[in-house]
Amino acid sequence: MTVYLGDTGGIELKRVSAQSVKATLLDGDVSVIKRRFSFEEEVIGTFISGDHVDIATVDGSNLVLIDGHNFNDWRGFIYVDPLGSFRLYDSFEKSIAGSVSNALQLVESSSTQNLTMTTRGDTYRPLASITSYEFTTERDTINTTHLGSQFIQQYEAGLIGGQGEINCFWTVPELCNPDLCNHGEYAAYLAQLCIRLTQGADFFGRFFVYRDENPYGNSVWYEADCIVTSASLSIEPTQAITSTINFVTTGQFNLLTGMAPAFLLQEDGSSLILQEDGESRLILGE
């Protein structure tokens, strides 16, 4: 009998796409020296550092914002400061750190621009600093006494739902040495999801019960759409700050086994290629 240890698991998160948000960029809203800009509209709580976004002009004219960029739209990653201003980056890792030196150089516009900013579902990334997590599946039974035989066959199995709890150290990029921290999601992201109003608190999750170090080996994981329901902090003197996040699943979820989804097998079976988009689904046979 094989016994699995808890240190072979982990969690991967994927941010959820949302509808476009319309915003107005006025002359003077761009700080070239600090490489940041802001909108006239209130956007605090709408976007989160690390979001993969599309910024485009409403009328199709050239977007006057990034130095040397002469198109009507731009795609990349954003950093959001405490005041709701943005910096733009060409990679997720740089956007999480939010440094001025790595931000894209901006230019000022001489006229008002009506823009749309849309978040995009990006790749799965590991959740950092996890100490433990629970994933519970449950089935609610339904009273079928007063239903006809057709409905009984449909509902007598009950409704399946899932929920869980994640315990981790409270880590945010600003307090973490970039050379020592991995470039995954932090506990701060889940806490921000819980209070984000415009786009909701949902995310895609992969909860690994066991992940084989050999890419060809068999792994076991749950895959589900989730909503953060609560995020709490535990603060004690001389103790590390920890965070507890509770979530529930929405829609269908699966318990999967087989090759970990980060890799795809080539046809010749000799090597592996990286699955970058995280969207494909394969059924692997013997």
How crowded is the C-beta side of 32, counted as CA atoms within 13 Å?
9
67 and 150, same domain (yes or no): no
Residue 110 is predicted with a pLDDT of: 81
129 and 269, same domain (yes or no): yes
- The enclosing domain of 53 has a CATH number of 2.40.30
Residue 164 is predicted with a pLDDT of: 92
74 and 108, same domain (yes or no): yes
Burial class (CB in 10 A: 0-12, 13-18, 19+), 84: middle
88 and 163, same domain (yes or no): no
- Among residues 89, 120, 151, the one where a domain terminates is 120
Q: What are phi and psi of 201, to 5 degrees?
A: -115, 30
List the chain residues with pLDDT less than 50. Answer: 152, 179-180, 263-286
Q: What are phi and psi of 12, to 5 degrees?
A: -120, 140
Instruction: Please count the residues of the chain.
Output: 286
Residue 278 is predicted with a pLDDT of: 46
DSSP code for 218? -
Is there a domain that residue 199 lies in?
yes
Residue 269 is predicted with a pLDDT of: 44
State how far the Cα of 141 lies from the Cα of 155, in Å rounded to an integer: 8
249 and 114, same domain (yes or no): no
State how far the Cα of 216 lies from the Cα of 16, in Å rounded to an integer: 29
Is there a domain that residue 282 lies in?
no
34 and 114, same domain (yes or no): yes
pLDDT, tens only, 124-136: 888 888 889 999 8
Query: Nearest 5 degrees, angle CA 221-CA 225-CA 230?
Result: 105
Number of domains in the chain: 2
DSSP code for 178? T
131 and 80, same domain (yes or no): no
pLDDT, tens only, 28-64: 889 999 999 998 877 766 788 888 899 999 999 999 9
219 and 194, same domain (yes or no): yes
State how far the Cα of 55 lies from the Cα of 115, in Å rounded to an integer: 7
131 and 149, same domain (yes or no): yes
Of 246, 227, 229, 122, give the one whose Cα is nearest residue 184: 122
24 and 106, same domain (yes or no): yes
Range of the domain at 46: 17-120
In what order do the strands lie in the sheet containing 219-234? 125-126, 10-14, 202-210, 219-234, 242-258, 159-169, 130-140
Is there a domain that residue 280 lies in?
no
In what order do the strands lie in the sheet containing 36-37? 21-25, 113-120, 52-57, 73-80, 86-89, 36-37, 30-31
85 and 207, same domain (yes or no): no
- The enclosing domain of 212 has a CATH number of 2.30.110
Could you tell me which residues come within 8 angstroms of residue 136 by beta carbon, excluding any fewer than 6 positions away? Answer: 162, 163, 164
Could you tell me which residues come within 8 angstroms of residue 37 by beta carbon, excluding any fewer than 6 positions away? Answer: 25, 29, 30, 31, 65, 85, 86, 106
67 and 196, same domain (yes or no): no
